[in-house]
Amino acid sequence: MEQHSLVMPNTKKHLAELLLESSLHGPADRFRSRTGFSPDIEAAQAILFSSKYDRQAKIRSYRSWLESNQPCVFGRVAAKNKNVFICLLEQNEIVQMKNGDRDVMDTIQDHRQVWKRLALDGIASSFVILLVSSQLVRREPDSALKEICRKVLELYMQVEIADDTFHTQREYVFLRRLDNTFLKFSTLPNIFCAQGDRRWWHDHRTPGGLMITSNALGHFMYARSTKPALEVSDFTWALENAMRTISNAQRQPSGAKTKFAHCPATFLVKREASDPSPLKPTSQFADFSPNHYEGYFNTDHLIPSAFFQKERDPKDLKRYRDLSLQYIYDPVADPKGHTELMAGIPVTWYDVKRDMDRLPDFVDPERTSKLDRSTRGRLAGWLEDRILQRC
């Protein structure tokens, strides 16, 4: 996302208005009132919704949930190693912000640039925006929830976003290499909602309310490596774990009396015998296609409209039959995707610096090198002060 002026999305209602309307007038989720949340969601929300815990305690709790309960293999590893940077916003803070969406957007952009600063030194490859609301989690997954998700995404991406589309404007993070050169990597934002728990889209659930995650897989791979460039074996490892993530998709929500037609929501497909595969014959995924997988929502769509309907398992969902895996390992079949998402694009210091123009001087990337724990603590305090000033 190489856009440096803060452009307000062209939508009428502010996020605070949308949240209040949902809290006061939105239909209750009848399924949730009968079934309740999964135990892991309930446990995390006991902390996220409590006034006894400060923001950092809630962030630690949420990171622990990510480590144990999300299907994404890379996300679990990143959470375990504290490579996920979390922007946690509570509904009461958003409602109290004096300048409405302008303040919410500035808060998200503050966190976004801190993430980029951490990413520059290989400390964080994933960015999470978590909107916490005890009222929102018990509302139906309807068009009102979709508009709240859209609003948060637009305040982050700073562009208008339509249903069931991916955006050509990318979000990038940077990595400083050992030889003091720089690479930039594209990320893939995704939406998760509490309403997904125990529905067919269980794999895109989250405790707390709604979450947007932006993961830079290529950055994650490079940050774990001391090699000057990634090798074929690294991309093959990434492919195998991406396939493992898809294979981890929920087979059947707990408490369901009949088998869901649309679970798992994404799934691997058998490989044709004539199709080449970079995986070893001994791999547990050797018999599955390394080129594509299928699903009942498109994992590249920023706003999957299929999520936002109250039924646990709707009768008819579109089946996406060509969701690509080739960008991970094949620079010939998908040169642009492989370069942007995995191999990285060489950039200049100017490209890096202009994407971090709102950071405090004590983490200016021109004046500081590695960020120690004390400096990261100062950054957390700076972010907290910025939120308090806006409320």
Band the pLDDT of 2: cuts 50, 70, 90: very low
CA angle 265, 268, 270 (to 5 degrees): 140
Does residue 5 surpass a pLDDT of 50?
Answer: no
**With 0-12 CB in 10 A as exposed, 13-18 as middle and 19+ as buried, what is 116?**
buried
Backbone region of residue 253 per phi and psi (left: phi > 0; alpha: psi in -120 to 50; beta: other values): beta
CA–CA distance, 75 with 48 (Å, rounded to integer): 20
The pTM score is 0.94
pLDDT of 73 reads 80
Does residue 138 surpass a pLDDT of 80?
Answer: yes
H/E element holding 39? Answer: helix 39-48
CA–CA distance, 297 with 314 (Å, rounded to integer): 13
- Please state whether the peptide bond connecting residue 264 to the residue before it is cis, i.e. omega within 30 degrees of 0: yes
> Percentage of the chain surpassing pLDDT 70?
96
Average pLDDT value for residue range 331-339: 93
Residue appearing with tokens 């990285």: 344
Does residue 8 surpass a pLDDT of 90?
Answer: no
Q: What is the pLDDT of residues 245-302, one digit of tens each?
A: 999 999 988 777 788 999 999 999 999 988 899 999 999 999 999 999 999 999 999 9
Does residue 3 surpass a pLDDT of 50?
Answer: no
CA angle 342, 348, 350 (to 5 degrees): 125
Where exactly are the structural domains of the chain?
A: 15-390
Q: What is the pLDDT of residues 363-376, one digit of tens each?
A: 988 877 678 989 99
Q: Identify the weakest region by mean pLDDT among 99-113, 139-153, 211-225.
A: 211-225
DSSP string for residues in 44-62: HHHHHT-TTS-HHHHHHHH
For the chain, the average pLDDT equals: 92
Band the pLDDT of 12: cuts 50, 70, 90: confident
Band the pLDDT of 76: cuts 50, 70, 90: confident
Band the pLDDT of 80: cuts 50, 70, 90: confident
Q: Residues 15, 129: contact at Cβ < 8 Å?
A: no
Which residues lie closer than 8 Å to 186 by C-beta, 6 or more apart? 170, 171, 172, 216, 218, 340, 341
Does residue 1 surpass a pLDDT of 70?
Answer: no
Query: Residue 47 forms beta bridges with which residues?
Result: none
Does residue 319 surpass a pLDDT of 90?
Answer: yes
Which of 129-143, 226-240, 337-351, 366-380: highest mean pLDDT?
Answer: 129-143
Backbone region of residue 122 per phi and psi (left: phi > 0; alpha: psi in -120 to 50; beta: other values): left
Tokens of 278: 């970079």
Q: Residues 309, 141: contact at Cβ < 8 Å?
A: yes
pLDDT of 168 reads 60
CA–CA distance, 382 with 177 (Å, rounded to integer): 27
pLDDT of 233 reads 93
3-state helix, strand, coil in the chain (%, to 5): 40, 15, 40
Q: Produce one character per residue of 284-298: b if its CB has 16 or more CB atoms within 10 Å, e if not.
A: ebeebbbbebbbbbb
